[in-house]
Amino acid sequence: MSAVRLGEVTITRVVEIGRSSFPTTTMLPDSTPEGIAAHYHWLRPDFFDEAAGDLASRIQTYVVRTPRHTVLIDTCVGNEKTRTGAPAWHMRRGSYLDDLRAAGVTPEQVDIVVCTHLHVDHVGWNTRWIDGRWVPTFPNAKYVIAGEEWEFWKGESDAGREEYGCVADSVVPVVEAGQVTLVDSDHAIDPYLSLEPSPGHTPGHVCVRLRTAAGEAVFSGDLMHRTVQVAEPQWSSRFCHDPARARATRRDFVERHADSGVLILAAHFPRPGFIVRERGGRRFEPAPGAA
């Protein structure tokens, strides 16, 4: 995506993986091909991957530069990590750090890393393998994590219920390095960025709200995985910890932001945009110039 400027803040993104490993009907178990196709009139072409014949998806990091801080929101899958349950993620040798540098940011320049939640495709680049151990990728950064989210996943990891091992290799080393700040789910990061609770996908899932003199944006994490969920918020993902709660959170979010002019930047949407009302329903409208 080209850099988006919102007042005194710029937003760019680093795309690690340009396509999902899961077809939409698998990712959203309550969806149907017919139900998805009913929205093709607005999903195509901006939110559709014609090569895959499915809705487009990304695994990506948002880079937010405020007058005070350089902030990364979510850190994708990572390199050299054992992810046997997901071949596209297993022992990757991707160009993420080079792509981050191409966006104008070196690891040493990152001030804050925000994890919207602690799923495997959101924490991977928290660490990298150096001299036989996992170390923080961003040595000068404060890693901001909602305390409720950390406590839940620490318990899952300790009990052997965390499927991918990402807590052990991508979160614990940063905690042990003293770089994690555990916060409430409504924590103010700086004058521009603050967390907002959005539970359901995970117990401590948060969105990140950006406020500027020129308007607002929300980095919504995995509140929605596919753009069609703007119109069909009752469709929770296969990875939602509490699908019913996720459904209620998503419906509230869609209604609050419909026709609000707030820019929505979801973790897996192929481009940012706006929630708008149309003929009694809701759809997602791409932001101009933000492909």
DSSP string over 167-196 = HHHHTHHHHHTT-EEEE-TT-B-SSSEEEE
Confidence of residue 289 (pLDDT cuts 50, 70, 90): confident
Residue range 217-234: mean pLDDT, rounded: 98
Q: How many Cα atoms are found within 13 Å in the side-chain-facing hemisphere of 251? A: 9
Residue 175: per-residue pLDDT: 98
Residue 28: per-residue pLDDT: 98
Residue-wise DSSP of 244-273: HHHHHHHHHHHHHHTTS--EEEESS-SS-E
81 pLDDT exceeds 70?
yes
Q: Which residue has the tokens 């090569």?
A: 51
Residue range 70-97: mean pLDDT, rounded: 96
Confidence of residue 1 (pLDDT cuts 50, 70, 90): low
Confidence of residue 20 (pLDDT cuts 50, 70, 90): confident
Q: Are 262 and 218 in contact (CB under 8 A)?
A: yes
Which three-class secondary structure state does DSSP give residue 243? Answer: helix
SS (H, E, C) 43-103: HCCCCEECCCCEECCCEEEEEEECCCCEEEECCCCCCCCCCCCCCCCCCCCCCHHHHHHHC
Single-letter amino acid, residue 74 = D
Percentage of the residues of the chain whose pLDDT score is greater than 90: 95
Residue 85: per-residue pLDDT: 84
Largest CA distance in the chain: 58
Q: Are 274 and 285 in contact (CB under 8 A)?
A: yes
Residue 290: per-residue pLDDT: 73
Domain ranges of the chain: 4-286
Give the architecture (CATH level 2) of 4-286: 4-Layer Sandwich (3.60)
Residue 252: per-residue pLDDT: 98
The reply to whether the predicted model has a pTM over 0.75 is yes
17 pLDDT exceeds 80?
yes
Residue 40: per-residue pLDDT: 97
Residue range 243-267: mean pLDDT, rounded: 98
279 pLDDT exceeds 80?
yes
131 pLDDT exceeds 80?
yes
Nearest-angstrom CA–CA distance, 58 and 225:
9
Residue 98: per-residue pLDDT: 97
Which three-class secondary structure state does DSSP give residue 123? Answer: helix
Least confident of 82-91, 127-136, 223-232, 257-266: 82-91
Residue range 40-60: mean pLDDT, rounded: 96
Q: What mean pLDDT, rounded, does the chain reach? A: 96
pLDDT tens digits for 163-198? Answer: 899 999 999 999 999 999 999 999 999 999 999 999
Percentage of the residues of the chain whose pLDDT score is greater than 70: 99
